[in-house]
Amino acid sequence: MITKSKERGSLQPRKPSVFRQRARAISAAGMTGLVALGSFAPAATLTALLASTVMTPAAVAQDFTTGQLVGVVTDTAGNPVSGIAVTISNDQTGFDSTSTTDSEGRFNFARLPIAQYKVVVDAPFGEDPSDEIRIPAGSVQRLNFTVATSEVEAAGLEEIIVVGTRATSSRKDFLGQEGGIVVNTDDLVARVPLQRTVADIALLAPGASSGDSAFGNQPSLAGSSVAENLFYVNGYNATDTRDFIGLMNTIPFEFFQQVDIKTTGFQAEFGRTTGSVVNLVTRKGTNDFHVGANAFYTPEGLRSNSKKRDTTDGFRSSDKLTETEINTWISGPLIKDRLWFYGLVSFRDNDLEDFSNSAFTDRKDDDPVWGINIDGILLDNDMFGYHTFTYTHIDDKRDIVDSILPFDRDTGTINREADTVTQTFERGGTTDILKYTGVIRDWLSISGLFGESDSRGRDLSNVSNIPQINDLRSGTNIVTGNTGGSIVDAINNDNRRMWRADADITVNDFFGDHQFRIGFDREVRKSAEQTSFSGGFRYVVFADGSGLGRFDANGDGISDTGVDLSAPVIRQDFRTTGGSFESVLKGYYIQDRWQTPIENLTLNVGFRLEDQTSKNVNGEPFAEFNGGFDFRTGFTYELDEGRSRVYGFVGKTHFAIANNTNIRLAGEEIFNEDFFRLVSDTIDPANVDAAIGDFIGRDIVSPPGVQPASTLVDKDLENQRQIEYSLGYDFSVGNNWTFGIRGVYRDLGQGLEDGSMDAGFRQFAADNGLDVDAAAAAFTGFQTFALFNPGSDVTLDVRTDLAPADMVAFLGGDADGDGLVEATLTAEQIGVPKIKREYKALELTWERAFVDGWSFQGSYVLARSSGNTEGGVKSDNGQGDTGLTQDFDTTGLTDGASGRLPNDRRHTIKAFGSYAATEQLTFGANLTVQSGRGFGCQGVHPTDGIAAQFGAASFFCKLDENNRPSADAESRLTPRGSVLESGWTKQLDVSAVFKPDVDFLPNGVAPEFRIDVFNIFDSNDVTDLNEFGEFDSGQVRSTFGDPTGFIQARTVRLSARIEF
C-alpha cells in the first residue's frame, strides 16, 4: 500500500461525497461494538505511524451475493477520530461511496457486490491513507486506519510508504462459526487442478467426501447424506426439487464468481437442511467490455484403461470416453455506470462407449447450455436511497441419447447386425432469478427475491413395446429385451417458485450493539410424474423359489397354489404412476450479531420457524408441519489482539419432505409383483407368456387408488431434525499462515421415514386378545405403509374393509360411516428402533495464502459416522427415494442396521496448492488420501417373513468363516459396515499453466495454455464393493465383495484460454 502525497498546511478536511453516494452504504452511525475487534488475518507490517489492519468478521449487513466493509479511524495516540470521510470505489463499475466516521471513528459499507475495491481516507493533515481490498459475498472485511490530526503528527508521515501483505483467507468469517471453505473461481480454480463441477469444489472442504456412485458422486458433507444439502444460486434455492440430490452440475465455473461451502455452524437464514449449504454467486459485467473463450479436451487416448476395472458384475476395460468443452463469454456495460451484463454459452460434446455384461452403449451428450446475468441501478437519490437489481437466467436443457447393441462378454464382440435400441433422456431445464437490493437509511437495508425453475425428466425409447428381462439364474444379471431400461415414456417434470425478503437493522448502545437480520421465504414446489414399464411389465428370473416361503404355508417346498418352489421362477412386475403433486413451504427467521459489552466477545443468536404442507395427487394435504422451531447460537472470543479466537456453536435444523414422498406415498401408484413357475429355459422378449407357467403368488407393493391421508401419515408426525455442536480455535502465524482445530458433533435426533404398520397391527391383535390369524391374513406386510417417526408411537386410521371385524369392533367401530377407524400402535408393537445417526469429527486445518508465488492449504479430519440410517437416501442398495428408503419398512430390515454408515471415513487428508515458477509458468497440485468405507452383507432375512418379502434387503447372509458366500453356510447376522472394508484411496492431481508473452496481441491480453493430470499415478484404489451376498430368491451371490467402483483412472485434460 502506498499513501499519496497531500498539500501541506491544509487545515480543512475534505467535504464528504453527496448522499447519492453515501446511500450506497449504511453509515457508521450506531455501529459502536465493532471497534474492539482485532485482526485475524494480519495486515501489512506498518512503517512509522500509519496503520491498516484487515480481518474477516462475521456476516451482518450482507447476504447471499454481497459483502460488507467496516473499520475504524484513529489518531496517532489510538483515539477515534470522527467526521473523517472514507471513500470506497470500484473503477470497473464506476461505483464509489463515502461514509463519514462517527464519534467512535467507525465507518461502514454494506451490501457491496463481490469486487476489488480501493479505500481512501480523507485525512485532516498529511497524506491520505489508502488500501485495496477484495470483498467476498457473505462476509465482512475490516480495514483500520491511523491518520494525523495535527501538523506536528503529519510531519512524521512525509513520504511514508506502507508495504506488506495480508492473508486472503478462503476460510470463514472470523466472528462467525461456519465450517467449510470459500472459493473464488478466479483464484483457486485457476491455480489448482479440479474437475469442472461444483461437487468437486465442495470436496475441498474439511469433512466432505464423495457419496456413492449411485447418486452421481454428489458430496456428503459433515456426515449427512447426499440428499440433505442445499444449493443456492444468488440466494435462490436451486436444489433438485424432487429428491434433493445435487444441482445443475452442467453449468461451467466461468458463470460463477464465488462458491461458498458452509458445512456446519450456519445461521438461521438457512433452513430446511440437516446437511450443509452450498452458495453460488454468478459473475457480473463491468464498465469494460470483455470477450473470452476457453476450450477443454479430455481425449480417450490419454486416459488410462486398467484391466483391473473388469468385474463379474460389469465389463469396463473397453469403455471409452472423450470429453470436449468450449465456453465463450461476453460482458460489459449496457449503460455505463448504470446497467451491465455477463453472458456465457457452453458447448459440450461427451462421447461415451460403455460396455456391460450384455450390452454396448454409445452415448451422445452434446447440447449447449447458456446463462446471462444483468445488473443495474434502479434508483439513486437523496430521498429514497440506493436501489439495485440482478436478473439471472440459466438454460441447461439437453437431450442425452443412448444407442444400444447386444454385447457378448465371452467373445468381446458387439452384435452390430442387431436392431439398435435408442433411449433418449430429456434432462435439465431453465432457471430465472430476479433479486432486488436497497439501502434505505443509515440503519436499514432490505432485499427481495423471486425465482422460478422448471426441470424436465422424460425418458423415451424406440422399443417401448418390448419388456426388459433380468435373468439371475447364472449368478450374474443378464439383461435382454429392452436393454436400455425397464421404464419408458416416463415423465418427471418439476417446478419451483420461491419468494424471499430480508431486512438488516442496526441497533446500538442497547446492552452492546446489534445487527439484526429478519426474513421470510416461501417456496411452492410442484412435481408431475407418469411412468410405466416397457412392454407393460418387467421380468426377473430366479434359479428357484427358495425365497418365496410366504407362499408356502405348510413349509413343504410346494406353494399354496401347488407349484414346486425348487424349480426356476419368473417374477412379473407391473407398475404405473401418474399425477401432479405440490408442496408449500414457508420459513421465518430472526438473527442477531451482538457485540456484547464484554470486550472481544461476540454472540450470534438466531431463531427460525418452518411450515410445510405436502399435498396428494388430488391437491389435498396429507402431511403438515406448522411451527417447526429451530435455534442457532454461537460465540466468538478474540485473543491476542485478534490474531486468534475461540468459538463455539449449538443449533438445531429441520429437514423438509421431498416431493418424491408425495409421489410415492400419496399418488395413484399401482405396483404388484406376481410370481410364476418358469416353463422354458429360453425367454423370447417378444413372447414372454410362452415361458410363464403356473401362478405362485402376488406381492402388492402399492395398492391401487388414492388412499385417505389419515391412513398414510402418523397424526402426531414430527419433522426430521438434527442438533449440532462445535467448538474451535483458530490462530495466525506471521502474515500469511492460518491454522485451526475444531470439534464437531451432529446428532439426527428425530427421523422421518415410511414403513409398513402391518407387523404393528399383528402385535396389536395379540396384545389385545384379538384373532391373531385373522390379523396375519389381513396384514400380510405391504398393506399399511405410512409416514412416521421410527421409534415413536403411531396414530393413524385403518380401513374397515382391510382390518378384521373383531379389530374394527375393538377400535369402536365405524361410527361415522367413512370406512375408517382410528388406531394407536405403540413403538414396541411396530418394532422398529428410533432413528439414530451420529457424526463426530476433529478437524485440523491450515492455509497459506498465495503470496510470494506459492500457496498451500489443506485439512486432516478424524471422523466417525454411525447409526441405523444414512439419511435421505440409502447407499447400501443405491436407493434414491429420499425419505422413503427401505431402512424402516419393517422390523426385520432393522436387524443389524446399526453400524458404520456408508459415508463414514475415519481419516481424510486433503492438501492442495500452487507454485509460480515464473511469471509465465504456474504449477498446481491436489492430493486426497482417505480411509475406506465399511460394508455389511445383504441377503434374505431367514426368520422374519415380512422382511423376507423384500428380497436381499436384510443384513443376513450365508457366509463361511472367511466371509465368502456359501450355500452350505447358515444365514447369520452381518451388520452394516462390519464385514468388509474398501481400503484406503490415494489420488494426486497435478496441473501446469503457461501464459506466454505474445507481442502481436493488445496490451494486457495473454493466451493461457494448461494441462491437468488427474490421478497421475493411476491408482486402482477401490471405492465401492458389491455388498449383496444373495439374490432376492435367497440364492448365494458369488460376486459378493467384488469391486464395483474405483477412483477415476488417470486422465489428462488439455485446455486453452484467452480473453480480450
Report if residue 340 sits inside a domain.
yes
Q: Encode pLDDT of 656-678 as tens digits.
A: 999 988 888 888 888 899 999 99
556 with 439, same domain?
Answer: yes
The enclosing domain of 66 has a CATH number of 2.60.40.10
Report if residue 74 sits inside a domain.
yes
Q: What is the mean pLDDT of residues 521-542?
A: 92
Q: What is the mean pLDDT of residues 712-726?
A: 95
Give the length of the chain: 1060
Per-residue cell: 867 = 447409526
479 with 584, same domain?
Answer: yes
- Of 830, 850, 884, which marks where a domain is finished? 830
Report the pLDDT value the prediction gives residue 643, as an integer from 0 to 100: 86
One DSSP character per residue, 832-845 reads: -PPP-EEEEEEEEE
Q: What is the mean pLDDT of residues 555-563?
A: 93
Report if residue 217 sits inside a domain.
no
- Among 24, 26, 19, 23, CA closest to 517: 26
Q: What is the mean pLDDT of residues 369-386?
A: 92
- Of 155, 188, 216, which marks where a domain is finished? 155
Report the pLDDT value the prediction gives residue 806, as an integer from 0 to 100: 96
Report if residue 207 sits inside a domain.
no
- Yes or no: say if 277 and 1043 are a contact pair by the CB < 8 Å rule: no
Residue 631's CB: how many other CB atoms inside 10 A?
14
pLDDT at 928 over 50: yes
658 with 780, same domain?
Answer: no
302 with 341, same domain?
Answer: yes
Domain extent for 775:
753-788+792-830
pLDDT at 631 over 90: yes
pLDDT at 313 over 90: no
In the chain, the number of structural domains is 3
Per-residue confidence band for 458, with pLDDT thresholds at 50, 70 and 90: confident
- Of 777, 812, 830, which marks where a domain is finished? 830
Burial class for 416, CB neighbours closer than 10 Å (0-12, 13-18, 19+): exposed
| Distance from C-alpha of 272 to C-alpha of 280, rounded to nearest angstrom | 18
Report if residue 188 sits inside a domain.
no
Report the pLDDT value the prediction gives residue 735, as an integer from 0 to 100: 85
780 with 697, same domain?
Answer: no
Percent of residues, the chain, with pLDDT higher than 70: 91
- Backbone φ and ψ for 979, nearest 5 degrees, come out as -100, -45
328 with 341, same domain?
Answer: yes
Q: Greater confidence, 19 or 588?
A: 588
Report if residue 248 sits inside a domain.
no
Per-residue cell: 62 = 450482507
Per-residue cell: 92 = 470497473
72 with 145, same domain?
Answer: yes
pLDDT at 392 over 90: yes
Average pLDDT value for the chain = 87
CA distances from 851 to 168, 188, 629, 749, 855 (A): 9, 13, 45, 45, 7
| Distance from C-alpha of 1014 to C-alpha of 909, rounded to nearest angstrom | 17
Report the pLDDT value the prediction gives residue 309, as an integer from 0 to 100: 59
Report the pLDDT value the prediction gives residue 51, as an integer from 0 to 100: 35
733 with 776, same domain?
Answer: no
931 with 803, same domain?
Answer: no
609 with 473, same domain?
Answer: yes
Q: Encode pLDDT of 988-1005 as tens digits.
A: 999 999 999 888 888 778
CA distances from 856 to 68, 160, 519, 882 (A): 27, 32, 38, 38
pLDDT at 414 over 80: yes
Per-residue confidence band for 160, with pLDDT thresholds at 50, 70 and 90: very low
Q: What element of type H or E holds 151?
A: helix 151-155
Report if residue 447 sits inside a domain.
yes
Per-residue cell: 95 = 461505483
Residue carrying C-alpha cell 453515501: 22
Out of 76-90, 431-445, 910-924, give the one with best mean pLDDT: 910-924
575 with 660, same domain?
Answer: yes
CA distances from 684 to 222, 571, 678, 795 (A): 49, 15, 13, 49
pLDDT at 650 over 70: yes
pLDDT at 58 over 50: no
Per-residue confidence band for 129, with pLDDT thresholds at 50, 70 and 90: confident
pLDDT at 374 over 90: yes
Q: What is the mean pLDDT of residues 197-222?
A: 90
Report if residue 209 sits inside a domain.
no
947 with 811, same domain?
Answer: no
The enclosing domain of 544 has a CATH number of 2.40.170.20
| Distance from C-alpha of 626 to C-alpha of 293, rounded to nearest angstrom | 50
Angle at 361 between CA 360 and CA 364, to 5 degrees: 155
